[in-house]
Structure 1
Amino acid sequence: MSAFINTLADIDSVISDADTDTTASAPATAMACHTCGKSLAESVSDDFCDESCQIQWRVSLAQSSPEDGGQAPDQDQPEAAPVTPVASWLGAPAGVVSRPGHELLDEVTAFLNRFLRFPSEHCAPVVALWFAHTHLADRLYVTPRLILSSAEPGSGKTRVLEIGQYLVHKPEMTISMTTAAIFRLLLDGPVSLLFDEIDAVFSTKGGNNEDLRGLLNAGYKRSATIARCVGDAKSMNVQRFPVYAPVALAGIAGHMPGTITSRAITIHMRKAAYGDDPEEFMEEDVELEAAPLRAELAAWAAAVADQVATARPERPDGVRNRAAEIWRPLLALAEAAGGDWPARTLAACKHFVIDTATSQEESTGVQLLAALRDLYAQHRTDRMRTADILGALHVLEEAQWSDMGDGKPLNAQRLARELKRYDVKPVVFEPTNAGEKAGRGYVAYTTNGAQAQTGLADAWRRYLPPLPPSAPV
């Protein structure tokens, strides 16, 4: 302890000697003021003779140009927010758009393809766009329904929803949910409803689900509400519940109401081929990997929301009316994404709306109009007798006309009833060949007078997509 005290005493001695030497060597004259140069002998400050000199010195310092090697602000350049570095292994922070939209959508598509085997190259991009659109659905006028159907279980329908719940906005995944519960969920704004096993809900044994069907039908438009009486008998009020929300529906094919499929993009899933198994789905791993993608989708959707909400995107020829309406958000998102996404989405739209639209998605009347157009084009005629029409339809393979579901073929009465909805009626017409008797059947042209009707050609133009240019007229 004494050694430590002696050491401190030695240090103090050295410091005292240094102070004494400095004082001894200091100039005899006092220091001068930094501003005016006067002596500081009578000043309380070590730098200035009085307060005014101190203020003057500070003003001159503030007005001078810093010598900082060019680091001073450039007055000719606009101000900009500093670039925030993003740690790539952590993903983008919430609200940060770290890359172009087309790169983000490419990664979402690749993420889907790791765990799924879609039936065509158009499917995964459409699902990726649908996931993205849920993050700005409140800015859109229409949200398309996404239907995932298949002939057999185990085709990947549920897997799409399982992945989607970690990528969409406010997911609500369910197998059975009451209409009243959905009303309450949507009071605070759109949520993404992901329905699995929807075929059980809309099957003939599924009970009365007209309320749910009406909600899903109406809720594809932002302005939609459904009125309900609330309260007890003494204080009953009418409340209008908003029902607008993105909806994805998965189920076995054949049970979906036509009113819903007409508002939907339908993907017919198929089992993966043997030996072409996708990556094993581990939900806890998928949740972690999807989190940064979901944050990026939300940030990017917010950044392009104004552009997408007011866009009038290009669409393929023949995509009209409701089909054009439900595809508009996805086509607009693709245009905002850039890269090859506009072209890819146009091709996907044409694929789903025109190239592969199945008869299952069409009414019996529209299927009949299509069959008649093919028949009249094949015979290169604008008139056919009813008996000839029925005979030709009954022998068509893979068609329903030989069995209309009740074990009986299409007959003249059912044919007339189906076509009457399109203002097409049987008429008596003159034969096309000499020597033939007048016939009774259906003509492609308009007739007036006692046999007034619009003709098949008018119905073909209104309810069927145009024929390819090479097709016979």
Structure 2
Amino acid sequence: MSAALTEPSPGAGLLDDVTAFLGWYSVYPDKHCAPTYALWIAHTHASDSFYVTPRIIFSSPEPGSGKTRDLELGALLAHNPKMTISATTAALYRRISAAADEDQLPPTIFFDEVDAIFGRTTAPQTEDLRALLNAGYKRGATVDRCEGDSKNMKVREFPVFAPVALAGLAGNMPATITTRSVTIHKRKRAPGEKVHPFRERDAAAQAAPIQADLAEWVGSIADELAEARPEMPRGVEDRPAEVWEALLAIADAAGGHWPGTARSACRHFVVDAEPPELSIGVQLLADCRRVFGGRDRVKTEELVLSLRDLEESPWKDLHGKQIDARTLARLLKPYGIRSKTQKMPDGTPAKGYAATGATGFHDAWTRYLPADPSVPVTSETAVTPQLRAVTDQNGVTDEA
């Protein structure tokens, strides 16, 4: 079903009601947030129809920005909501597997204050939770656990596929989760921004008929949603397309203004969004490209000193120390980049790095960074490392 659909279905009015209900009790930073959350809530009523259940994250720089309220509102409208703050990984996958055992849709997990978990020093329990949230993003995902006593131990597969909404302070969420999510950046309300007082009993009474009608409508089109292949806005592909497929499918099924509204939101969150914060490795690749400035070779010593001199870079104070040749080599090694003794442009041999060649920067720059318009394409920069590679006497591929 394409974005051209304009004839509204009963679902269009229901999604409008959900959006209005959310806006009655919460202030969002822009017009795209409440409709996106409405679509996400709707998808929980047919999550098994989709290959992917996107995560939705509410983050803010400071407490008191309405993140918990958004989870509470969603829990009044979603399928089988489970609100939690500090649930263990074992408790979560047992909740999810209990629904699967009864051949029911998975519950919708609303997880508050996750920054308190992922903001701590990495621990096995934290990594287990991160792995569950990542794996449970795709239908059919399971985790293996042993059950029984030592004399009768059995391995059981626990399903972990389930919709998850997360809330926490910004900056502590693992990138492996944020790339599987739509993130709504909440802010404290400005003096002129008003919401209606939230009394849970009253809000629950208001939400109940909307939730019932939404569940009925989404359930009635579950088979249609399973076959949907919604058209993505230009520039939305790979992981972001996975994240938005369920939401756009529901918008197309609703009709009316929703196909256009959903794709406008998709472009806002994906195409027009601020670039994600670079990992330390990708930032190093970008800064090294700045230092190279189109040159083919740079001495290790020059590269290290130039990195330290870059303004607003972490290389002067990387975990309390300045970057040195050893740290540089360690950070570049996963990208296949290594230094070697080679002839420099002034004709003298020195230890350094090359832009091209099998152990040079070019391949990593191409894969992990956008094109650099300031560097002209020359015979040196355009040629692929594979075409320039030869095998030296030690069996190590390097540039000719």
TM-score (structure 2 length as normaliser): 0.79
Q: 408, 411, 433: which one pairs with 2:321? A: 408
User: Corresponding residue for 2:385?
Assistant: none
User: Corresponding residue for 2:108?
Assistant: 192
Q: 47, 50, 59: which one pairs with 1:149? A: 59
Once residues 457 and 276 of structure 1 are traced to their aligned partners in structure 2, the CA distance between those partners, rounded to angstroms, is: 50
Q: 202, 208, 211: which one pairs with 2:118? A: 202
Q: Indicate conservation of the 8 Å contact 1:376/1:382, yes or no.
A: no
User: Corresponding residue for 1:421?
Assistant: 334
Once residues 356 and 413 of structure 1 are traced to their aligned partners in structure 2, the CA distance between those partners, rounded to angstroms, is: 36
1:71-86 residue pairs with structure 2 within 5 A? none
1:383-462 residue pairs with structure 2 within 5 A? 386=300, 389-390=303-304, 393-404=307-318, 406-426=319-339, 428=342, 431=345, 441-445=352-356, 447=357, 452-453=358-359, 455-462=360-367
Once residues 256 and 28 of structure 2 are traced to their aligned partners in structure 1, the CA distance between those partners, rounded to angstroms, is: 23
1:165–1:397 CA distance, 2 compared to 1 (3 A)? farther
Q: Indicate conservation of the 8 Å contact 1:370/1:460, yes or no.
A: yes
Is 1:463 aligned with 2:371?
no
Q: Secondary structure at the match of 1:421?
A: helix
Q: Secondary structure at the match of 2:210?
A: helix
Once residues 216 and 137 of structure 1 are traced to their aligned partners in structure 2, the CA distance between those partners, rounded to angstroms, is: 15
User: Corresponding residue for 2:35?
Assistant: 125
1:292-303 residue pairs with structure 2 within 5 A? 292-303=209-220
Once residues 16 and 249 of structure 2 are traced to their aligned partners in structure 1, the CA distance between those partners, rounded to angstroms, is: 16
1:113–1:422 CA distance, 2 compared to 1 (3 A)? same
1:110–1:411 CA distance, 2 compared to 1 (3 A)? farther
User: Corresponding residue for 1:139?
Assistant: 49
User: Corresponding residue for 1:314?
Assistant: 231
Q: Indicate conservation of the 8 Å contact 1:200/1:206, yes or no.
A: no
User: Corresponding residue for 1:270?
Assistant: 187
Query: How far off its partner does 1:148 sit?
Result: 1.5
Q: What amino acid sits opposite 1:367 in the alignment?
A: Q
For these two proteins, the number of residue pairs brought into alignment is: 361
Once residues 374 and 214 of structure 2 are traced to their aligned partners in structure 1, the CA distance between those partners, rounded to angstroms, is: 43
Is 1:284 aligned with 2:198?
no
Range moving further from structure 2, 137-146 or 102-111? 102-111
User: What residue ranges of structure 1 are gaps of 5+ in the alignment?
Assistant: 1-97
Once residues 316 and 467 of structure 1 are traced to their aligned partners in structure 2, the CA distance between those partners, rounded to angstroms, is: 22
Q: More relative contact order in 1 or in 2 (CA 8 Å, sep 6+)?
A: 2
Q: Indicate conservation of the 8 Å contact 2:297/2:344, yes or no.
A: no
User: What residue ranges of structure 2 are gaps of 5+ in the alignment?
Assistant: 1-7, 101-105, 377-400
Query: How far off its partner does 1:103 sit?
Result: 3.3
Once residues 167 and 472 of structure 1 are traced to their aligned partners in structure 2, the CA distance between those partners, rounded to angstroms, is: 52
Query: How far off its partner does 1:305 sit?
Result: 2.1
Q: What amino acid sits opposite 1:400 in the alignment?
A: P
Is 1:236 aligned with 2:146?
no
Q: Secondary structure at the match of 1:401?
A: helix
